[in-house]
Amino acid sequence: MEALSTKSQLDMARNVHDLGSINKMREAIASGDDKVLQEAAEQFEAIFVQMMLKSMRKAQDALADENSPFNSQQVKFYRDMHDQQLATDLTANGGMGLADIIVKQLGQTEDSYTPSSVIRSDGNLSSLNSNRVNDVNQAQAFALNSQSIRTKSATKDAMFDSPEQFVETLMPIAEKVAAQYGMDPKAIVSQAAVETGWGKFVIHTGDGKSSHNLFGIKANKEWSGEQAVVDTLEFNNGVAQKQKSAFRAYSSLEEAVQDYGRFINSSPRYSNAVEQASNAKHYTKALQEAGYATDPEYADKIMAVYNSERLNTLLP
């Protein structure tokens, strides 16, 4: 009789709207009745499936016709009741397998599953996660500190006294490189002005030596020369984030501008920009589209300098 009573309770509990039967099932679980464990696991899985169905319904509602009679509050009420029962019926017939995992975990029927008592007392997941995060942070800090030691804590300092000196010094070099690669020297100077604030923020190593890096070219795996690691501002999905990055360091401005020309023209990534190198507007736009910089307004900033009165009055 007791077995029949339990079976009756389980069968009735499959109706999610019969709250009295569900409460009786909870009492059976609390008493340690192993026969109820499978049903309890299926009920838990049903809750999960119900949440999934609810999310799907919300996505459907966003596209539904507000004037449709099938989109009324009454229809949604009975639809939700149907979804609750559907979730229970689905899990009772095999479901997604989540119920079986719960039974194995809580029932301790297999050695491969950690006993539930251990999880409740010793399985401090937040502690484990925090320890893992601390380990990662320590490893990153060690790597960054080691790099900083090698580069002697690079900083950004002024390399030129004025925009006039910046343009006067850089333009002859840019003209030589531009003639070699078919580029616009004025666009080269404009990009360097944006990258360094007219030469006021050029990367310097800890001993005060300039990197001569006017174009923000990073030290990738293909670079075997000196490096300088500094804080930089990168944009991720339009959000500015502060990061540490390694940049190339050169012995002179001539080497820096020459490497810029070689870097752009040798990379397949910038092939579209190379094809439009003589047109500053198209060239800078192609650079941005190819991912030269993460700033979504990068091309506009370069063209603003390119067309500025300041730059044009400084040119011969």
CATH number at residue 308: 1.10.530.10
If you write DSSP's letter for every residue of 47-68 in order, what string do you get? HHHHHHHHHHHHHHHHHS-TT-
Q: With H, G, I as helix, E, B as strand and everything else as coil, classify residue 123.
A: coil
Based on the domain organization, do 136 and 28 belong to the same domain? Answer: no
Based on the domain organization, do 118 and 131 belong to the same domain? Answer: no
Q: With H, G, I as helix, E, B as strand and everything else as coil, classify residue 287.
A: helix
Based on the domain organization, do 117 and 6 belong to the same domain? Answer: yes
The number of helix segments (H) and strand segments (E) in the chain equals 14, 4
Domain residue limits at 137 = 125-152
Q: 225: Cβ–Cβ under 8 A, 6 or more apart, which residues?
A: 219, 248, 249, 250
Sequence-separated contacts (24+) of 283-291 with Cβ below 8 Å? 283/183, 283/184, 283/187, 284/187, 284/191, 287/191
Based on the domain organization, do 172 and 298 belong to the same domain? Answer: yes
Number of domains in the chain: 3
Q: 227, 259, 263: which is closest to 245 by C-alpha?
A: 227
The whole-model pTM stands at 0.50
Based on the domain organization, do 75 and 203 belong to the same domain? Answer: no
In the listed set 136, 152, 168, which residue is the last one of a domain according to the structure?
A: 152
In the listed set 107, 123, 139, which residue is the last one of a domain according to the structure?
A: 123
Q: What pLDDT shows up at residue 189?
A: 94
Catalytic (active-site) positions: 234, 259
Q: What pLDDT shows up at residue 280?
A: 93
Q: What pLDDT shows up at residue 179?
A: 94
Based on the domain organization, do 80 and 129 belong to the same domain? Answer: no
Distance CA 181, CA 271 (A): 13
Based on the domain organization, do 140 and 93 belong to the same domain? Answer: no
Q: What pLDDT shows up at residue 172?
A: 94
Q: With H, G, I as helix, E, B as strand and everything else as coil, classify residue 271.
A: helix
Based on the domain organization, do 284 and 160 belong to the same domain? Answer: yes
Based on the domain organization, do 77 and 219 belong to the same domain? Answer: no
Based on the domain organization, do 170 and 118 belong to the same domain? Answer: no
Each of the 316 residues of the chain gets a pLDDT tens digit; together they read 444 444 444 454 455 545 555 565 566 556 656 666 677 777 777 777 778 878 777 777 666 666 666 667 777 778 888 877 777 777 666 666 777 776 666 655 555 555 554 444 444 545 545 555 565 555 555 444 444 434 455 778 889 999 999 999 999 999 999 999 999 999 999 999 999 999 998 988 767 788 899 998 888 888 888 888 776 655 555 555 566 778 888 999 999 999 999 999 999 999 999 999 999 999 999 999 998 988 889 999 999 999 998 898 888 7
Based on the domain organization, do 180 and 195 belong to the same domain? Answer: yes
Radius of gyration of the chain (CA): 33
In the listed set 134, 152, 170, which residue is the last one of a domain according to the structure?
A: 152
Secondary structure element (H or E) that encloses residue 116, with its range: helix 116-121
Sequence-separated contacts (24+) of 218-222 with Cβ below 8 Å? 218/245, 218/246, 218/247, 218/248, 219/246, 219/247, 219/248, 219/249
Q: What pLDDT shows up at residue 108?
A: 55
Residue 96 CB neighbours (<10 A): 13
Based on the domain organization, do 43 and 134 belong to the same domain? Answer: no
Q: 189: Cβ–Cβ under 8 A, 6 or more apart, which residues?
A: 167, 170, 171, 174, 311
